[in-house]
Structure 1
Amino acid sequence: MKRSVGQILGRTGIRIPLILWSLAVLYPIFWMFLGAFKSNAEIYRNPWGFPESFSFDNFVTAWTNYNIDVSVFNSLIVTVVGAVLTLVLAIPTAYAIERINFRGSKILFTVYVSAMMIPMVLGWIPLFFLLSDLGLLDNIYGLAIVYAVSQLPFSIFVLTSFIGTIPRSLEESAAMDGMSPYKVLWKIITPLSMSGIITVTIMNAIQFWNEYFMALIFLNSSENYTLALAIDFISSEAQYTNAWGTLFAGLVIAIVPVIILYAIFQRRISKGMTEGAIKG
């Protein structure tokens, strides 16, 4: 009985702070969703209540007057291109480090892991001049390349852990059957590492979709703005035009895809990160 009471009290003591923290995190998001359906007058009159009538005028204004539609398309291109390019570079690199015994492979892996600890801000100025020299400044594809390179160390670190658990006998059997190393990589190693690949892809995609500072530095034209920059522009305008409902609508447009994506792949992401940690 004492053990049961102690377990109940222990669980309650853990759950109550977690519930309070969840409410503190979720309530601003809930308030933002409500504000997206309110008029500016209603936001000032009743900021914490439910809207009198759910109107989509703010979404229409954000989509048309503030070019959110173009920004969503730009963010989608940057996210997809960046995520795919990261995989194209990370999968062969992780395979080479883990499977090919060459001089300096461990040092190279250590360099990649160490790069995860270097703040990206240190490379912004050199990257600015490099993109300018290459003619990729104010270019969403140039930004996608920067995103892909920035996430390479993390992606290689995770994928190396998964590839290291695949039995070498599978590769040896495939080689005896006449498969080239490239076919072994893409037809055997890649499918068997799919859990880690999906985990890396989703986490990178969320990172690219939400990124703000590098987009602010490397993009200048409004027609190339990503969604984060477009929302920042609406935020600056809202201070003078009171377009708070439009701002909330833009935030909802930005956050809904991330919530849906994470909700769909939550278990796979958690499973992939746990397996990668155990295998590594």
Structure 2
Amino acid sequence: MKANGISPLARLLSGLLLAFWTVCCVYPLLFSILESFKDNQQVYSGKAWDLPKLPLLWSNFSYTWEKYHFGSYFVNTIIVTTGSLILALILTATTSYVLARYAFKGSSLLYYLYISAMTIPTLMLIVPMFFLFDALHVSNSFTGLILLYSISAMPMGMFMLVGFFKSLPHELEESAVIDGASLYGVFFKIMLPLAAPGLVTVSIVNALSFWNEYQYALVLISDALKYTLPVGLGVMQGEMQYRIEFGPLFAGLLISTIPILIVYIIFQRKINEGIVAGAVK
């Protein structure tokens, strides 16, 4: 007998598929946690899933934080991610609102041009962006990364937010204007709060992307003091040359991964609510 139109076999297969996918996602994280508390002798002498010997080598984390400058990389990543989030949210929300609420000649074409940018591979843009930002004198700076991240996040953000703004009743704007609200007041005091679920979803998705971005940061940043965590992790592995220190390397990986993972876990429900609300609207 089917439940909610889904056969028991389909439910079983879906559950098995989700369980398999969960194992594939959790496996690297658990493996990294175990390896981060080992020294090279334990790594080479034992099996991959052997538990680390006591006492746990918490010193791997402090060693990575200090010797490989992960403290600086961590601060740099927070600066770039926070700045990019704020700017991306301002650009995406204002542009989405205008395209959703104001009909003008070419608005649909402009919207689809923005959305079509999602189809362009990142690798195709690295070289042109490098020369463009060098000509603008914003390469090798946090400003350049923040501008690039913010602009690159607009297509996906607009794809999610335009639907939110289109679904809001026009009577709200008309009533606010009659009460004396300016266009800016209507947007910031009425429309923007109503689109909060979509804004939260876009912000969290962008935060995940900005925090983990590697290619642009690698090409545009040449000063070692301005590296972000993904680039710093790659530099760390390169500096080890012929003798890889697995414990500190996995410790650095966890330092890069755990903060954004915690953020995702905390706001996971908000992400789902925002996506569902946008789909319903």
TM interval, short-chain normalised: over 0.9
Q: What residue number does 1:264 align with?
A: 266
- In the TM superposition, 1:110-129 aligns within 5 A as 110-129=112-131
CA 1:276–1:59: 2 relative to 1, 3 Å: same
Q: Measure the CA separation in 2 of the matches of 1:64 and 1:128.
A: 31
What is the aligned counterpart of 1:166 among 161, 165, 168?
168
Please, which runs of 5 or more residues in structure 1 have no aligned partner?
none
Query: What is the TM-score normalised by the length of structure 2?
Result: 0.94
Aligned-pair Cα RMSD in Å: 1.7
Cα contact 1:120–1:150 (8 A) shared by 2 = no
Q: Measure the CA separation in 2 of the matches of 1:3 and 1:157.
A: 35
Work out the percentage of aligned pairs sharing the same amino acid: 37
Does residue 81 of structure 1 match 2:63? Answer: no
Per-residue deviation, 1:194: 0.4
**What SS is found at the alignment partner of 2:119?**
coil
Per-residue deviation, 1:27: 1.5
Q: Measure the CA separation in 1 of the matches of 2:13 and 2:231.
A: 42
Q: What residue number does 2:31 align with?
A: 31
Q: Measure the CA separation in 2 of the matches of 1:149 and 1:25.
A: 30
Cα contact 2:237–2:244 (8 A) shared by 1 = no
Aligned length: 277
CA 1:95–1:8: 2 relative to 1, 3 Å: closer
Q: Measure the CA separation in 2 of the matches of 1:270 and 1:277.
A: 11
Q: Measure the CA separation in 2 of the matches of 1:112 and 1:23.
A: 37
Q: Measure the CA separation in 2 of the matches of 1:16 and 1:174.
A: 52
Per-residue deviation, 1:24: 2.8
CA 1:26–1:239: 2 relative to 1, 3 Å: farther
CA 1:133–1:247: 2 relative to 1, 3 Å: same
Cα contact 1:234–1:246 (8 A) shared by 2 = no
Per-residue deviation, 1:3: 6.6
Q: Measure the CA separation in 1 of the matches of 2:9 and 2:192.
A: 47
| Paired letter, 2:27 | Y
Mean CA deviation greater in 40-49 or 90-99: 40-49
**What SS is found at the alignment partner of 1:164?**
helix
Cα contact 2:63–2:248 (8 A) shared by 1 = yes
Q: Measure the CA separation in 1 of the matches of 2:276 and 2:112.
A: 21
Q: Measure the CA separation in 2 of the matches of 1:8 and 1:114.
A: 40
Q: What residue number does 2:185 align with?
A: 183
What is the aligned counterpart of 1:136 among 133, 138, 141?
138
Q: Measure the CA separation in 1 of the matches of 2:188 and 2:238.
A: 47
Q: Measure the CA separation in 1 of the matches of 2:26 and 2:91.
A: 37
Q: What residue number does 1:40 align with?
A: 40
Per-residue deviation, 1:25: 2.7
Mean CA deviation greater in 8-17 or 90-99: 8-17
Q: Measure the CA separation in 1 of the matches of 2:98 and 2:206.
A: 22
Cα contact 2:92–2:157 (8 A) shared by 1 = yes
| Paired letter, 1:209 | W
Per-residue deviation, 1:9: 4.5
Please, which runs of 5 or more residues in structure 2 have no aligned partner?
none
Per-residue deviation, 1:21: 3.0
